A and B are shown apart, each in its own frame.
Chain A
């Protein structure tokens, strides 16, 4: 009897252990999240699909099972997505010659190679690998040259600075450098894009000639226009500003009190399909583009139909006055232009306003996504989508609704449960 009993326990334990082992080795999984956060990110998937050659990953880690298993698990989704991936573990202790030749600084380093390009990930993590893959996939130049010296927004953390934009694009594989055009003879060869962030002073002849030559050579320019417009050579006269600032009644729908916020909620195909929300362009100026044979209009960013160009004071109660030349919207507040000729046609994006990529405005609506999409389009990396921000970053209920819900669930419900329990007990004790 005792043997049968122990046999039962032994068989039960064996069956339990085996079932758990089999389930671990031959598992399946379903990612039910809307953003597919448990799968390879959209940005990494695009980067992997855009790689010029097969992907080789060398992992410099000692022969420690746990560390290697962790890295293997981290890389599993990437390898599953990009089957043309070769993974090699190299023990820097056993093969110091290989580690020295590769310039390995620390254990656990990842060296990602595709064709001639190589990226190194010092501390492996999903974000670091995604950024490295983005850099590997980026075609050609990688620098964003932010011009300075004419009152442009600085890459700092002040509300009017563009420090957050710089962080966002650098996380996606670009490098931002700040240069004064008066001290340059030409832009660096690896310039992917020149950024002119709302200059307050006009560019002198040398700087204008520098930009014109850069565009003639097929360059890309992101121009945030407060009052000045980019030099487009012969086509400069085709581009102009209408009087006044864009006032958009649609801003109230998104909880914006100030009337001088243009709401953009449809985007040109050139910017991809990742932009699902509205963007906010503060103190936007209405643009007009008369067309030019040398340039093609690749898309526009327009305010809502409820907007107009207000030429009067933006104070108190305002209304459109047609007699002052105020025209009803939609108004173009941004233009995407591309040269018609050339092997590598120049691209220019003009967005009016005081800088929708400024730190104080980048968090409004889909401004960050718009900034990254424009950057990608201008630098010719259209296929590289930005990682999608979480959809649940905004609290939309009123403080009263929140307070009512909190009181109901923290106080009223527990009190009701307790009262029900006490009432039942009292009823049971009643003779």
Chain B
């Protein structure tokens, strides 16, 4: 049943123009940035080589572009997620979901997976574009694979968090505003705090950057798993409460 809900959500995404606009704009942004940075890299590559630089195209072109892809996902996911529960509530369809015999956990997991499926084409398209640079530069394949895995993990995490935020409101616009506020706060949190402050634990970038540097750490995986699970539990709890009120 979870797969069926996920598929339904995925079809709903594809039916709207927002999904295709996001995919086209995201792909164009990522490719543009990648080739602009590659051009700048090509200019300085002889000097880097003469100096025996330890940073190459992977560090100076590919990973910064993955960072840009992360920002595109951060800005695009709330657009797709705002309709998942807030949109259903606004249109009155949420009552049908609540009246069904499906458990809240199945509905929520299905919706999160459906939203994730909607993000995968952008992640795949951008990743293939960046991997294609390997035709001309000897990229580090293990590092590239970890960066793609990081994007998959972050997009699943974004889906869980934005669906939770969507469940808190009855209007999609309010869900969208709240999602941007929370995600941008987490995105910028590490710039407000020093390296050793406890706030840094909650910031998003310090958990993504190590993976883009080729470092797989247990604490980063735990961060995404624990916060996504918390978001899922809170969404289920919220849906159960709505069901109780209904």
- On whether the beta carbons of A16 and B52 are closer than 8 Å, the reply is no
Task: State the CA gap A411–B25 with chains docked (Å).
Answer: 10
Q: Quote the shortest CB–CB distance from B151 to chain A (angstroms).
A: 15
Interface check B101, CB cutoff 8 A:
no
Can you name 15 extra interface pairs (CB under 8 A) apart from A41-B54, A405-B132? A16-B226, A19-B226, A20-B202, A23-B219, A32-B143, A32-B215, A69-B196, A168-B52, A363-B46, A413-B129, A414-B27, A417-B20, A417-B27, A421-B21, A424-B14
For chain A, the bracket of interface size reads: 35 or more
Interface check A30, CB cutoff 8 A:
yes
Interface check B191, CB cutoff 8 A:
no
- On whether the beta carbons of A38 and B227 are closer than 8 Å, the reply is no
For chain B, the bracket of interface size reads: 35 or more
Closest to B121 in A: A417
Task: State the CA gap A358–B160 with chains docked (Å).
Answer: 57
From B137, B194, B196, B202, A395 is in contact (CB under 8 Å) with: B137
- Note all chain A residues with C-beta closer than 8 A to B46: 363
- Note all chain B residues with C-beta closer than 8 A to A164: 50-51
Chain A residues proximal to chain B, CB less than 8 Å: 8, 12, 15-16, 19-24, 26-35, 37-38, 41, 65-66, 69-70, 73, 164, 167-168, 359, 362-363, 368-369, 372, 386-397, 401-402, 405-406, 409-411, 413-415, 417-418, 420-422, 424-425, 428
- On whether the beta carbons of B140 and A363 are closer than 8 Å, the reply is no
Per-residue contact bits, chain B 92-135, to A (CB 8 Å; 1 contact, 0 not): 00000000000000000000000000000000010001001101
Q: Quote the shortest CB–CB distance from A430 to chain B (angstroms).
A: 14
- On whether the beta carbons of A20 and B222 are closer than 8 Å, the reply is yes
Q: Quote the shortest CB–CB distance from B228 to chain A (angstroms).
A: 11
- On whether the beta carbons of A12 and B27 are closer than 8 Å, the reply is no
Chain B residues proximal to chain A, CB less than 8 Å: 14-15, 17, 19-21, 23-25, 27-28, 31-32, 34-35, 38, 41-42, 45-59, 125, 129, 132-133, 135-140, 142-143, 145-146, 194-197, 201-202, 210, 213-219, 221-223, 226-227, 230, 233-234, 237
- On whether the beta carbons of A428 and B53 are closer than 8 Å, the reply is no
Instruction: State the 5 A-B residue pairs at the shortest beta-carbon distance, nearest first.
Output: A421-B20, A390-B56, A363-B50, A397-B136, A392-B56
From A65, A362, A410, A425, B50 is in contact (CB under 8 Å) with: A362
- On whether the beta carbons of B230 and A421 are closer than 8 Å, the reply is no
- On whether the beta carbons of A394 and B138 are closer than 8 Å, the reply is yes
Q: Quote the shortest CB–CB distance from B17 to chain A (angstroms).
A: 5
- On whether the beta carbons of A391 and B140 are closer than 8 Å, the reply is yes
Task: State the CA gap A30–B214 with chains docked (Å).
Answer: 8
- On whether the beta carbons of A33 and B196 are closer than 8 Å, the reply is no
Task: State the CA gap A395–B48 with chains docked (Å).
Answer: 12
Task: State the CA gap A36–B233 with chains docked (Å).
Answer: 39
Closest to A365 in B: B49
Given that A66-B194, A409-B132, A424-B20 are known contacts, is A30 also in contact with B215, CB under 8 Å in the complex? yes
Task: State the CA gap A396–B218 with chains docked (Å).
Answer: 37
Task: State the CA gap A415–B21 with chains docked (Å).
Answer: 10
- Note all chain A residues with C-beta closer than 8 A to B213: 33, 37-38
Summed over the interface, the residue pairs from A and B with CB atoms below 8 Å come to a total of: 198
Q: Among A19, A22, A29, A410, which residue has the most Cβ atoms of chain B within 10 A?
A: A410
- Note all chain B residues with C-beta closer than 8 A to A73: 195
Given that A24-B219, A33-B142, A396-B137 are known contacts, is A406 also in contact with B31, CB under 8 Å in the complex? yes
Task: State the CA gap A30–B221 with chains docked (Å).
Answer: 12
Closest to B18 in A: A421
- On whether the beta carbons of B49 and A20 are closer than 8 Å, the reply is no
Q: Quote the shortest CB–CB distance from A184 to chain B (angstroms).
A: 31
From B50, B57, B194, B227, A392 is in contact (CB under 8 Å) with: B57
Task: State the CA gap A396–B140 with chains docked (Å).
Answer: 15
- On whether the beta carbons of A12 and B214 are closer than 8 Å, the reply is no
Given that A20-B201, A393-B49, A409-B129 are known contacts, is A28 also in contact with B143, CB under 8 Å in the complex? no
Closest to A19 in B: B226
Given that A30-B216, A396-B137 are known contacts, is A390 also in contact with B17, CB under 8 Å in the complex? no
Task: State the CA gap A371–B234 with chains docked (Å).
Answer: 62
- Note all chain A residues with C-beta closer than 8 A to B25: 414
Task: State the CA gap A66–B199 with chains docked (Å).
Answer: 13
Q: Quote the shortest CB–CB distance from B195 to chain A (angstroms).
A: 6
- On whether the beta carbons of B53 and A390 are closer than 8 Å, the reply is yes
Given that A69-B195, A428-B15 are known contacts, is A392 also in contact with B24, CB under 8 Å in the complex? no
